[in-house]
Amino acid sequence: MKRLTLTRFMIEEQRRSGVLRPELRLLIETVARACKTISHSIGKGALGEVLGSQGTDNVQGEVQKKLDVIANELLLEANEWGGHLAAMASEEMETLHRIPNRYPKGEYLLLFDPIDGSSNIDVGLSVGTIFSVLRAPVSASGREVTEQDFMQPGREQVAAGYAIYGPQTLLVLSLGTGVYEFTLDREVGAWLMTDGPLQIPAGNCEFAINSARHKQWSPAITRYIDERLAGEEGPCGTDYNMRWTASMVADVHRILKRGGIFLYPADHRSPGKARLRLMYEANPMAFLVEQAGGAANDGYGRILDVKPVGLHQRVGVILGDKTEVETVAAYGREMAEPVKA
Tell me which residues touch Mn ion (CB under 5 A). Answer: 113, 116
- Binding segment (CB under 6 A) for ligand F6P, from list 99-107, 186-194, 241-249, 299-307: 241-249
- The phi, psi pair for 92, rounded to 5°, reads -90, 0
In the bound state with ligand F6P, the residue whose beta carbon lies nearer, of 275 and 322, is 275
13 touches ligand F6P by CB under 6 A: no
Distance, in Å, from the CA atom of 60 to the CA atom of 321, rounded to the nearest integer, reads 30
Q: What DSSP designation does 194 have? A: E
In the bound state with ligand F6P, the residue whose beta carbon lies nearer, of 179 and 263, is 263
Going by DSSP bridges, is the β-strand pair 169-174/159-165 parallel, antiparallel, or unpaired? antiparallel
247 touches ligand F6P by CB under 6 A: yes
Among 33, 190, 246, 267, binds ligand F6P (CB under 6 A): 246
In the bound state with ligand F6P, the residue whose beta carbon lies nearer, of 20 and 261, is 261
**Is the distance from CB of 142 to CB of 107 less than 8 angstroms?**
no
Burial (0-12, 13-18, 19+ Cβ within 10 Å), 213: middle
Which residues are registered as beta bridge partners of 302? 297
193 touches ligand F6P by CB under 6 A: no
Distance, in Å, from the CA atom of 19 to the CA atom of 15, rounded to the nearest integer, reads 8
218 touches ligand F6P by CB under 6 A: no
| Amino acid at site 211 | S
116 touches ligand F6P by CB under 6 A: yes
In the bound state with Mn ion, the residue whose beta carbon lies nearer, of 116 and 181, is 116
248 touches ligand F6P by CB under 6 A: yes
Of residues 159, 199, 167, 110, the one with CA closest to residue 9: 159
In the bound state with ligand F6P, the residue whose beta carbon lies nearer, of 6 and 67, is 67
How many CA atoms are closer than 13 Å to the CA of 84, on its beta-carbon side? Answer: 18
CB of 117 to ligand F6P, least distance (A): 4
Which residues are registered as beta bridge partners of 134? 109
38 touches ligand F6P by CB under 6 A: no
Going by DSSP bridges, is the β-strand pair 261-264/206-209 parallel, antiparallel, or unpaired? parallel
- Binding segment (CB under 6 A) for ligand F6P, from list 166-174, 188-196, 199-207, 245-253: 245-253
Residues near ligand F6P, by CB under 6 A: 116-117, 119, 210, 246-248, 264, 275-276
